[in-house]
Structure 1
Amino acid sequence: MKLIWSPETASKAYIETVKSCEKFKEFGVAELLSAMAAGWNAKLIVEAWTQGGPIATSIGLAVAARNTGGRHVCIVPDERSRLEYVSAMRNASSSSSPPPPPLPEIAVGEVEATMGGLVGVDFLVVDCKRRDFARVLRLAKASHKGAVFACKNAAWQRNVSGFRWQWALERGTRVVRSVFLPVGRGLDIAHIGSNSGTVALKKGPSRWIKHIDQKSGEEHVFRK
């Protein structure tokens, strides 16, 4: 099996997201990701939200899930982040027209626990501003038919740490193609191949991935 693109569903989700996110200034990120998730008919949409970050992408992904009849799950690290996320989504719901879809499922806790329970991810959105963004990518369990992984705010991370998909994903993951788009503060997108009858990436030597926190300036190094 493989991902099948539906331009009609993508267009519908894009238009709905534009209407729901008119007051937000996220430079088209929400609309693009919503159209992609809907167009690929994603049934399990997962996003790793950053506390204090924009909420427009969440609204777009919720719109996509409504159009595909799928699940939209947002993972947050703690209860404080959950409360902030719920408040932001409710505020957006009360002030937008038409009203966005209901709140997504919210998974609270460490990435190892939250991602461990999400098997068969079709569409994943990770904010590179999260300290643990590399762990989210590495622990993601893609659908057997393939998946699309997207990193927001990727321009800074790409330039500073030399981010590469092959280094960040679980060893053996097959990246069919990837593209960097100058949308918002950079979108890095990868199409992950299906695991049926495909050849995985060759295992190479371990590499080190460096991530510098933009707020604190702290440097975090991950071995892959």
Structure 2
Amino acid sequence: MRLEPITWERLAGALAGHLDGLAPGDGGPWLKVAVDGPPAAAPEGPAGLLAEALRLRGRAVLTVATGGFLRPASLRFEYGKEDPDTYFSGWFDTGALWREVFGPLEPGGSGRVLPDLWDPAADRATRSPYRELAPGGVLVLHGPFLLGHWFPFDLAVHLALSPGALARRTEAAWTLPAFERYEQEVGPAGAADVVVRADDPRHPAWTGLP
């Protein structure tokens, strides 16, 4: 995989320009973007920069974090609080993401997206109001394990860390086997349209645009 140095700001601008050239396809009048990466890669940062770059271009944008779509604690911790297999396949409510985020952005959809569903600290529903994304707007979804679910992304960006960097920068070491499994079963670098190597967060490098 050939990588070229880039800054996070230039990356956001390049992705925003690429999205300007995309017409929504069969997925309705909205574009959907994934910024996929482990917590150690802080995908919320590049997602926020991309949203800002799109707004500067006059695009309506809605950013959504998968952290707002965790399952209740009774389900997440059914096999203990540090079970990597459950973290990989049972922590995030993909059904709710389909229903509350992607469903409203399907052809003929309302555009009314629920930005979050569950507060993990209080372990109860957030009761957040729906947000309406205007036609022609862009959804930016960020978080881990976004690829491999058949989510209808128009552009998927994967933030990659080497095993060493991932181990050094991951606070919850028990989650590391889940990311190994993600690499083996999904192969996010091959599934994404754009890969950004973020071993050194000050000096990212990317594969370029598709």
TM-score (normalizing by structure 2): 0.37
TM-score (normalizing by structure 1): 0.36
Specify which structure has the bigger relative contact order, considering alpha-carbon pairs within 8 angstroms and separated by 6 or more residues.
Answer: 2
